[in-house]
Amino acid sequence: MAIETMEQRITTIARAINEAAGRAGRAPGSVTVVAVCKTATRAAVDEAYAAGLRHFGENRVPDAIAKFAGAPLPADADLHMIGQLQTNKAGKAVGLFQVIESVDRLSLVHELERLGARRERAIPVLLQVNVAGEEQKAGCDPADVDGLLDAIAAARYLDLQGLMTIAPLVADPEEVRPVFRGLRELRDGLRAGRGLALPVLSMGMSNDYPVAIEEGATHVRIGRAIFGS
C-alpha cells in the first residue's frame, strides 16, 4: 500500500474543501485551513508550510513556546490559539499568537484588553461559543454571548473577527450539523441585531469539516488529516 505524503493529504483536503464549498454555492478559496499542529513536530510544521499552508493552530501555550518562541514562523504565517487560555498565560500568548480564537469569559476579555493597551495594538480575537451544550465544556454558554459582546465592544484593543465553536466528536458528522448551523445562525442574528460584521466562523475539524463548510465555516481547524494521529 502506498504511503500518502503530507503534500498529498493536503491536496486531498483542498479538493474536499472546494467540493463542500461548491455544494453550498460558495466560492472556492473562501475557506482557510488552520493546520492544528499540537501533536506535530516543528519539522512537520515546516513541511506543511512548504506545501502552502499559512495558518497554524496550537491549543497549549507551553507547547507553542517550545515549538515557535525560538524559531518563529515566517512573517506570512499566522499562529492561532485554539485551546482554553488561562489568564496568567495571556501575556505569553499575545506575544506568540496572531489570533486568539478561544475567548470565552469576561476575565479573559479584560486581561486581553489590558495587554492590548500596553502594546498599543489591537488583538484579533474570536468569541468561542459552546453551541453543543453539555457534551462540550469549552466555550461560553450561548446565554452569556450578549454580555461578552458588550465587554468586547467596550474594549478598544480587541478586534473581534468572529465566532468559534468545537463540535463533539461523533461517528457520523451529520450528527453535528446542527452545532455548525447553530453557530452560523447565532452569527446571522448578531449581524442583524447588533450590526457586527463577524466575518470569521471557525468550525469543523478532520472528521467533520465538509459539513461545517456546508454550514458556513470560513476557517476549518484540521489536525489529524494533515499530520496523522
Q: Are 131 and 186 in contact (CB under 8 A)?
A: yes
Q: Are 156 and 113 in contact (CB under 8 A)?
A: yes
- Shortest Cβ 221–ligand PLP spacing (Å): 4
Nearer to ligand PLP, 50 or 169 (CB): 169
Nearer to ligand PLP, 149 or 220 (CB): 220
- Per DSSP (E only), the strands in the chain are 32-36, 55-58, 78-81, 99-103, 123-128, 158-164, 200-202, 219-222
Q: Is 79 in the site for ligand PLP (CB under 6 A)?
A: no
Site for ligand PLP in 81-140 (CB under 6 A): 82-83
**What is d(CA 37, CA 48) in angstroms, rounded to the nearest whole number?**
10
Q: Is 36 in the site for ligand PLP (CB under 6 A)?
A: yes
**What is d(CA 105, CA 141) in angstroms, rounded to the nearest whole number?**
9
Nearest-CB residue for ligand PLP: 223
Site for ligand PLP in 15-34 (CB under 6 A): none
Q: Which of 11, 24, 38, 91 binds ligand PLP (CB under 6 A)?
A: 38
One DSSP character per residue, 4-24 reads PPHHHHHHHHHHHHHHHHHHT
Q: Is 173 in the site for ligand PLP (CB under 6 A)?
A: no
Residues near ligand PLP (CB under 6 A) are 36, 38, 59, 82-83, 166, 205-207, 221-225
